[in-house]
Amino acid sequence: MNLLKCVLRRRIGETPEIVGVIVVTIVLTRALPRVPAARFAGPAGGKEAAEAVREKLNLNESFIRQFRICARSATDPTANRCGLALSAK
């Protein structure tokens, strides 16, 4: 029982940290002066490549929807839809 209390206390303590990291990440992504999708697509990428990157990174979703996607990804390892590596193909 003591171990269960310890685990639950740590999980409850981790929650604000996870929420904070997700919010800061999304806010910084939206605050960048250039469009992140165009930067990730590269100089040779056109509008189609930038739109594909926006779809892959869920940048066309609202802030709340992006937060839900990232929160689900942080808690469920099978739902990795936030922070995908663009260099890995």
Q: Is residue 66 part of a domain?
A: yes
Q: Is residue 89 part of a domain?
A: no
Dihedral angle of Cα 20, 78, 10, 17, to the nearest 10 degrees: -10
Report the distance separating Cα 61 and Cα 33, nearest Å.
18
Number of compact structural domains in the chain = 1
Domain span at 48: 2-75
Which pLDDT does position 84 carry in this prediction? 53
Q: Is residue 11 part of a domain?
A: yes
CB-based contact 81:69 (threshold 8 Å): yes
Q: Is residue 19 part of a domain?
A: yes
Q: Is residue 57 part of a domain?
A: yes
Q: Is residue 83 part of a domain?
A: no
The string of pLDDT tens digits covering residues 10-69 is 988 888 888 888 888 878 877 765 566 666 667 777 777 777 777 877 777 888 888 888
